[in-house]
Structure 1
Amino acid sequence: MPLRVATWNVNSLRQRLDHLARLDQAQRPDVLCLQETKVADGSFPENDIKALGYDELLICGQKSYNGVAIASRRPVEAQGRQIWCGKDDKRHLWARVSGVDIHCFYVPSGGTIPDPERNDKFAHKLAFLGEMKQWAAAEAKGRPLLLLGDLNVAPLEKDVWNHKKLLRSVGHTPGESAAMSGVIEAGHFIDIARHFVPETEPLYTWWGYRFPAAFEKDYGWRLDHAWATESLGKRLEKLTIIKETRTWERPSDHVPVIVDIAE
């Protein structure tokens, strides 16, 4: 049957529960992949999510930082998580729903200095992407698999509002873009957004808080991604970026991305 999957870095789930309810009412995803939930498992708002119709919940969180979750209206047939770089900082979950393995990722942001020798956070990010490449080569090929989440890299020229200005900014450096390309190639992934929108066209999912007019002036980055393995290629129907959530009161700096998979 058709499958609709949404990914969203909510930047604190408990602060965005009303936004999540609005998104659900308008879009009715079958599966929600959430990042940066910022809530320990014991405090997760399970009843609020189940009240929206998501009876199946997978959570992997911690207080104040990081955290991912998967919520599904449909039965979860299998599930799991992986610890990356030997650091259990709550960045990955997966669930099999309707025969599709859905992986929810939150890649480290990498700090502000794009030098792994001077910045441990950036070194962690590059190591994380390196492990993702190894994982993709071993686990992704040949399976009906979706990889979604905040991957904290805008790899292409038109994935940022000013390519030349931002080439030395973490999230758009050539090394990060090459590392992300390595993951895509290792898993034979289809970049779903660029499957539907040419690489020559601007495409963004994040507008920062630091500059209040960032959204108004469209100073955006494409940090939130959805990839599919080749076995799902013929079933890819649509990708939608829900930009309007960035205009809501006290919004997340990221907006939802929705993937529709045909029957």
Structure 2
Amino acid sequence: MTGFLGPNGAGKSTTMRMITGLTPPTSGTSEVAGRPYRQLPNPGREVGVLLDASAQHPGRTGREVLSLSARTQGVGSQRVDELLDLVGLAGPAAKRRVRGYSLGMRQRLGIAHAFIGDPRVLILDEPANGLDPEGIFWMRGLLRDFADRGGTVLLSSHLLREVEAVADRLVVIGGGRIVANGTKAELLAAGGVRVRALDPATLRVALERAGLAVTEGAEGALIVQAEAEQVGQVAASISAVLIELRPVDTGGLEELFLTLTAAEAKETAR
């Protein structure tokens, strides 16, 4: 599961529209499942897409929306019942016209629509928009289960804590350019590790001899730009007694996002 992040206007939705063939790129190409999206013979069976939860015919019922999509993709009608139940729109809600749905209900219908063809890839633009806290928790479990069963998810969201809770990888863009790309652990560990020892001066010398960048931290700690395992190995080689060794608290994804996008904004302004 890849979290696709960036401030408003950075290009997230446009990128997703280019991937799915709705907006032609001025340069470059994109492929899904090894070929351009428009060349997929039955794209809904390969890629489930949710770009705008409001893009449903307001005069149709929830069941009719899914039934038409199922028929178009060659999916059995039992799949419609399964998904209505899965997204919490079974019963009377399935018979209501979409114009009477709340934003959260439309979002659930859009998610069901993305799943209708039993795809192996999901491309979702702000799928949590309009969902209440219970709905967000439900969606998190649904997508995490899909990914754990071998599916691939590209998920954009402005709810950074939700992305941090479920994503395996992060791509951050600003001004139409990628400013960070890597696993969640790699990007959130960019602050290095904090280490304290009974003899910090000796440990610092050993760390610098090992080629690691070291700076002074608060309370006599050392901030080292390295993995905790590397620092621990250096400490063990000189029999140093450590009283603290942990990743630097970077403030999580929210602080990382603000730092990266602010830096990109300054660069663009120049």
Common fold: TM-score over 0.5 = no
Higher strand share: 1
Higher helix share: 2
TM-score normalised to structure 2 length: 0.33
